[in-house]
Structure 1
């Protein structure tokens, strides 16, 4: 099919090429031969009068025009998928959909089990893949790599709708037999202690500590960092170190590890945990169902 002399089938090829930046990988993804995809790229170059991707050494680099097309092409395909190709009705008991959800291991520990419990009781045939958080998470929605993001309100995009699922407080966890567990945890003791911190690999090295110091006026002495929220409580065992973590996660981990839960000795703004989806998928019945499941799960997780 052509629209203004452009073969619309080429849009899928263009989207894949701009995403993969490789003819070989793009051909594998589209289940076509590299020569066929190379021919599609030639036709796209002719239409747009631009190289779109250029070979530099062993890499293909996107041209400025290609970069300007990248999000618009992905949004166009998302719009087609959400308004034309998506089935008009969704039945959780017979669906074969696989929902991709980007969220932290904290979310997978405190919220996801309750969601899967509800889904199991409904006898839904839907499947799920929980994927690790990345920098610029809204791009995952725009590229169609994620159906939903579950992220703090500080990271939601203004370009896409979202709902607040719940609020989360923060607490300190220390080893139950440590000296720091005895008596009141003051701001002075907190500042003097060693700290273990979760630091995502995609975030620049000092992002969290700079923000923390600016917001609360306390510079923490870092002893260790990890990529996982759930591992933080274990890393204080046998030491005088502190981990500042989500209250719900601390409560769960204190059932497993010899931990003492202490209040943070200064006011910490509660986190608003949100679910976000693509603006073109407001009427996706599958996502409406799943968002309802997550809201119910947020209620149930505080009833345990």
Structure 2
């Protein structure tokens, strides 16, 4: 397809080139040779009358005009995908859609594993790919490279739809054999103990560390950092350390690990988990069906738990 003498297929290549800023990596993603990819870049330079990418040392850097093009090119490609390539007959029973979701291991353990079981019965050919949270998760959603994010409220992205799924409390977890701690926990005890915490991404963002700092002006004494929520309770066992974690996950692990669950010494704000998606997917029938099923499954799980 051509528009104003531009082969629209070249926009796919331009999007990849601007993201990778490297001919070799772009060629691999485009399934082209390096020479063919260089030729595509040449055609793009001719059309836009701009170098787009220039060699600076061993790296390629986008020109100011290329940076201006990056967002509208990505928006065009997302619109084409949502309005043309995904407009198939809506039939969950036969659909072979592949959905990429950003969600934490905590959510998979306490809720999403059962959600996937329910969805498999109604849409047996639909597949899923779970991606852990990272520094660029929001960018993946904005670029249309993931279908859904299920994340705490603070990660909501302005301009894209979202829906509250459920609320979660935090609790403290210690080993059942820890005799230094009774049935309650003072703030002084809490601050004196060694802590196990979760850190995500290159910045090692802590799950509740920022909140403690802003409220009380001091750090917990963190002795162990892990990169997923499921290892928190496991690392408490056999130690005198403490972990502050999601209540649902703590209750799950307390059924088969020697753990005690205690209230937090101070009230930690309720965490609200939201489902987010790119605005271009809002009206897509299959995408909407998946969102509705996820919401309904979580509601049913919560209802059965309360019963």
- For normalisation by structure 1, the TM-score amounts to 0.93
Structural RMSD (CA):
1.9
Query: Per-residue displacement from partner, 1:183-217 (whole Å, max 9, x unpaired)?
Result: 32111111111111000033356795344211354
Cα shift at 1:50: 2.3
More displaced, 287-296 or 150-159? 287-296
Query: Per-residue displacement from partner, 1:229-277 (whole Å, max 9, x unpaired)?
Result: 1100111111221100011011111112110000111111111101110
Equivalent residue number for residue 226 of structure 2: 226
Equivalent residue number for residue 39 of structure 1: 39
Cα shift at 1:180: 3.9
**After the TM superposition, which residues 283-298 of structure 1 pair with which residues of structure 2 at under 5 Å, given as runs?**
283-298=283-298
Contact 2:149 2:275 in 1 (8 A): yes
CA–CA separation in structure 1 for the residues paired with 2:181 and 2:89: 55
Q: Which runs of 5+ in 2 are unaligned?
A: none
Equivalent residue number for residue 87 of structure 2: 87
Cα shift at 1:137: 2.2
Cα shift at 1:92: 1.6
Query: Per-residue displacement from partner, 1:134-159 (whole Å, max 9, x unpaired)?
Result: 21422112223201111111011012
Equivalent residue number for residue 114 of structure 2: 114
Contact 1:103 1:130 in 2 (8 A): yes
Contact 1:71 1:142 in 2 (8 A): no
**After the TM superposition, which residues 61-80 of structure 1 pair with which residues of structure 2 at under 5 Å, given as runs?**
61-80=61-80
CA–CA separation in structure 1 for the residues paired with 2:147 and 2:9: 23
SS in 2 for 1:264: coil
CA 28–222 in structure 1, closer or farther in 2 if over 3 Å, else same: same
More displaced, 72-81 or 43-52? 43-52
Contact 1:114 1:300 in 2 (8 A): no
CA–CA separation in structure 2 for the residues paired with 1:86 and 1:259: 48
Equivalent residue number for residue 102 of structure 1: 102
Equivalent residue number for residue 130 of structure 1: 130
For this pair of structures, how many residues does the alignment match?
A: 304
Cα shift at 1:301: 3.2
SS in 2 for 1:212: helix
Contact 1:13 1:40 in 2 (8 A): yes
Equivalent residue number for residue 271 of structure 2: 271
CA–CA separation in structure 2 for the residues paired with 1:204 and 1:192: 22
CA–CA separation in structure 1 for the residues paired with 2:169 and 2:252: 14
CA–CA separation in structure 1 for the residues paired with 2:151 and 2:97: 22
CA–CA separation in structure 1 for the residues paired with 2:220 and 2:257: 24
Q: Which runs of 5+ in 1 are unaligned?
A: none
Cα shift at 1:36: 2.0
**After the TM superposition, which residues 209-220 of structure 1 pair with which residues of structure 2 at under 5 Å, given as runs?**
209-220=209-220
CA–CA separation in structure 2 for the residues paired with 1:168 and 1:160: 23
**After the TM superposition, which residues 163-178 of structure 1 pair with which residues of structure 2 at under 5 Å, given as runs?**
163-178=163-178
Equivalent residue number for residue 259 of structure 2: 259
CA 71–211 in structure 1, closer or farther in 2 if over 3 Å, else same: farther
Query: Per-residue displacement from partner, 1:94-129 (whole Å, max 9, x unpaired)?
Result: 111111001111111112112112113325210101
